[in-house]
Amino acid sequence: MYSLSLRKNLALKLSLSFVFIYIILAILSRKAFSISIKYLLILGQVNYFILKNGYFWQLFTSIFIHVNILHLAFNTFFMYIIGTSVENKIGPKDMFLVFLSSGLIGNVFSLLGGTRYPITAGASGGILGLAAFDIIFVKIISGGSLMPAISTLVVLFLMNSFLPGVDILGHLGGIIGGAVIGFVYGKYKVRRIIKYRITLDY
């Protein structure tokens, strides 16, 4: 029998946190299907505010809020699916660090690149970072050429970054961040495995 543990499944908790935050902001906005611009200006990423007024917290808060209910539905679903896959491989704490780091790197890309959108928000940079981490990490652990994995990352980026309203730089930064972390983490794990085997043989 399969049982789902809320205590262990951090990916599910993160997905539910997206929903909870959206509900609170929707109530405050007095709207069901979208969030008021008032709250997006405070909690979303507004590059002008960050650079001119020092609102650096927006690099963090913008990861956890969503503009409308469709945006929320997509990110909640993929956070659970991809997050669970990564969590099962490296544990909840490291999965969360990969997600958060990728999301922040994506937001920094968006900030430095001067994205054309006045407000950006959502967890997609972090989620794509998790997907990129998963692809590269598995390839490093299993061995072999990285070229197929890199090709997959290119396809992942193209499939998710050229729709209307998408922050291309945020997605690109998230994927690059997750891939780099996956490469470094994978190499670290391989070294640990080799060292452990040498120790046992000795």
> Could you state, in order of their start, the residue ranges of all structural domains in the chain?
10-201
Q: Which of 41-45, 151-155, 195-199 has the lowest mean pLDDT?
A: 195-199
Nearest residue to 42 via CA among 58, 25, 54, 21: 58
pLDDT category at 193 given cuts 50, 70, 90 is confident
φ/ψ bin of 44: left (φ > 0), alpha (ψ from -120 to 50), beta (otherwise):
beta
Q: How far is residue 200 from each of residues 110, 189, 193, measured CA to CA in Å?
A: 47, 16, 11
pLDDT category at 116 given cuts 50, 70, 90 is low
Cα 99 from Cα 177, distance rounded (Å): 10
Percent of the chain at pLDDT > 70 equals 91
Mean pLDDT computed over 59-87: 97
Query: What pLDDT, in 10s, does the model give residues 22-63?
Result: 999 999 999 999 999 999 999 999 999 999 999 999 999 999
Across the strands, what pairs with 120?
Answer: 45
Class of domain 10-201: mainly alpha
pLDDT number for residue 161:
85
Alpha helices in 57-91 (DSSP H): 58-61, 69-90
Q: What angle do CA 47, 27, 44 make, to 5 degrees?
A: 10
Query: What pLDDT, in 10s, does the model give residues 128-147?
Result: 999 999 999 999 999 878 99
Q: Which of 7-11, 29-33, 99-103 has the lowest mean pLDDT?
A: 7-11
Cα 30 from Cα 202, distance rounded (Å): 67
Nearest residue to 80 via CA among 156, 170, 19, 168: 19
pTM of the full structure: 0.91
Q: Using H for helix, E for strand and C for coil, what is the string for 124-161?
A: HHHHHHHHHHHHHHHHHHHCCCCHHHHHHHHHHHHHHH
Output DSSP code: residue 88.
H
Burial class (CB in 10 A: 0-12, 13-18, 19+), 198: exposed
pLDDT number for residue 1:
35
pLDDT at residue 186 tops 80: yes
